[in-house]
Amino acid sequence: MSKLIAFVQRHPRLTAWFVLSIGMVAILVWSARDVGLLPAQWAALIAATIGVAGLCVWIIGWEDEETAGESAPEKKA
């Protein structure tokens, strides 16, 4: 369990991507379960969903980078 916690602390964005992907794929499967998609269509939708989750985490990370840059004290030359 401590290894899992250490991994989450070292890689917060990767963990967020994984968790968000699981949730988004679960919602996709639940929503489209009766549509009658072919296996290749399911694979394409799941891959696209995982990509969108990664983009979401990346975009949310922009805010973290901006606030980290603003909170750092400026050094005078």
When pLDDT is cut at 50, 70 and 90, the band that residue 41 belongs to is very high
Domain boundaries, the chain: 2-62
Angular region, 40: left φ>0, alpha ψ -120 to 50, beta rest: alpha
pLDDT at 72: 56
Supply the pTM of this predicted model.
Answer: 0.76
When pLDDT is cut at 50, 70 and 90, the band that residue 73 belongs to is low
The mean pLDDT value for 46-67 works out to 89
pLDDT at 77 over 60: no
